[in-house]
Amino acid sequence: MSEPTTRILQAQPMMSMLQDDLARDYFVVPFTATDSAADLAERGRGVAIAVTTGEAGLGAEQLRALPDLRAIVNFGAGYDSSDIATARRQGVVVSNTPDVLTDCVADLAVGLVIDTLRRVSLADRFLRAGHWANGPFPLAARVTGKRIGIVGLGRIGLAIAHRLRGFDVAISYHNRRPKNDVAYDYLASVEELAAWCDVLIVTAPGGPDSRGLISADVLRALGPAGYLVNIARGSVVDEPALVQALMDGTIAGAGLDVFADEPNVPEALTGLDNVVLTPHIGSGTVESRRAMADLVLANIQRFRQTGALVTPVPEQPA
């Protein structure tokens, strides 16, 4: 068997199932966020395709050091870690892996809603610590019948709404613009949506346009009986404001799968009983990750054959 000749830049580290596939079919040139532009320019000379993740990405300086780059293939739905504006100015196309992770992320979002309101994780800790012998566990909040607000009614937002309808909830949403093909009510601002709902679920894409979208004002509008669930990007939420809101009772609780500076989580959050924390596991199933890896490989193959991508990212998120 001949050695692979097509060279591909690959962010390190990456899941073994994809890393092994890439190493089998291509000559992999690794890079990290700490590589200097000069080093990257030397190793990336003539390389047209880079494979990266939602956490790694390619910044503006790195992109300028790679004039031969023509495609960024993301392993994940998020692509805000790369400077998309600079990429497009340089004629670099970008893909991600939508749809294949939608179900698993939506499943986790619903799980966080249930866990946060019913306090399942806290009840587990209560029992394991032997506190049940001293009295019953405190009452929690029910999920059925709640008003659910969804920030970002894209693929994942719609999948979450579909699942939650079985709980007889009312659903409203906020997007950049209303959707004409859904029956849910559109509210013109995130703050208005927060004031209306009992549970605010964040599925909006990351990036500079959505940074801090869930602000202190939004949390105040959500109120002391309201809950926040974020399975989108940590950057979408003003994290210091959220910590303060959870500590002082501005909101009732939160379920968080994403954080502003992963894998670093504010120590104040880990000490709170009114928050459920998971380590960015939305797409963390064997089925989703295999499908994501296959879609990365399909994007690379399609680009090599035609110069196009199977799943190019939209010009502007919904």
Give 83-112 pLDDT, tens digit per residue: 999 999 999 999 999 999 999 999 999 999
pLDDT at 4 over 80: no
What CATH number is attached to the domain comprising 74? 3.40.50.720
Assigned domain for 120 exists: yes
Q: Are 7 and 27 in contact (CB under 8 A)?
A: yes
pLDDT at 180 over 70: yes
Q: Which residues are catalytic?
A: 233, 262, 280
Scan for tokens 């869930």, then name that residue: 214
CA distances from 63 to 76, 89, 96, 164 (A): 19, 10, 18, 41
Query: What pLDDT digit, counting tens, does each position of 22-42 carry?
Result: 999 999 999 887 888 888 999
Q: What percent of the chain has pLDDT over 70?
A: 98
Assigned domain for 1 exists: no
pLDDT at 203: 97
Assigned domain for 44 exists: yes
Are residues 301 and 190 part of one domain? no
- Measure the CA–CA gap between 90 and 60, rounded to whole angstroms: 10
Are residues 127 and 83 part of one domain? no
Assigned domain for 291 exists: yes
Assigned domain for 311 exists: no
Residue 184's domain comprises 102-277
Are residues 106 and 95 part of one domain? no
Number of domains in the chain: 2
pLDDT at 316: 56
pLDDT at 73 over 90: yes
N-terminal to C-terminal alpha carbon distance within the chain = 46
Interval 172-186 mean pLDDT: 95
Assigned domain for 316 exists: no
pLDDT at 33: 78
Query: Would the CA dihedral through 80, 32, 13, 262 be positive or negative?
Result: negative
Are residues 120 and 32 part of one domain? no
Query: What pLDDT digit, counting tens, does each position of 250-270 carry?
Result: 999 999 999 999 999 999 999
pLDDT at 3 over 80: no
pLDDT at 208: 87
Are residues 113 and 232 part of one domain? yes
Assigned domain for 314 exists: no
Query: Would the CA dihedral through 261, 263, 268, 270 be positive or negative?
Result: positive
Query: Would the pTM count as exceeding 0.95?
Result: no
Least confident of 89-93, 108-112, 204-208, 312-316: 312-316
Are residues 200 and 63 part of one domain? no
Strands (DSSP E) contained in 169-226 are 170-174, 185-186, 199-202
Are residues 28 and 12 part of one domain? yes
Are residues 122 and 41 part of one domain? no
Q: Which two tokens stand for residue 152?
A: 């970002």
Angle, CA of 30, 93 and 14, to the nearest 5°: 30
At residue 34, the 3 state secondary structure works out as: coil
Closest listed residue to residue 33, CA positions, set 16, 5, 13: 13
Are residues 64 and 205 part of one domain? no
Scan for tokens 């092994």, then name that residue: 20
Are residues 249 and 179 part of one domain? yes
Query: What pLDDT digit, counting tens, does each position of 48-72 carry?
Result: 999 998 778 899 999 999 999 999 9
> Please, what is the average pLDDT of the chain?
94
- Measure the CA–CA gap between 27 and 25, rounded to whole angstroms: 7
Interval 190-200 mean pLDDT: 98
pLDDT at 1 over 50: no
Are residues 236 and 112 part of one domain? yes
Interval 229-233 mean pLDDT: 97
Interval 215-244 mean pLDDT: 98
Assigned domain for 217 exists: yes
DSSP state of 139: P
DSSP state of 158: H
E strand or H helix that includes residue 29: strand 27-31
Are residues 257 and 112 part of one domain? yes
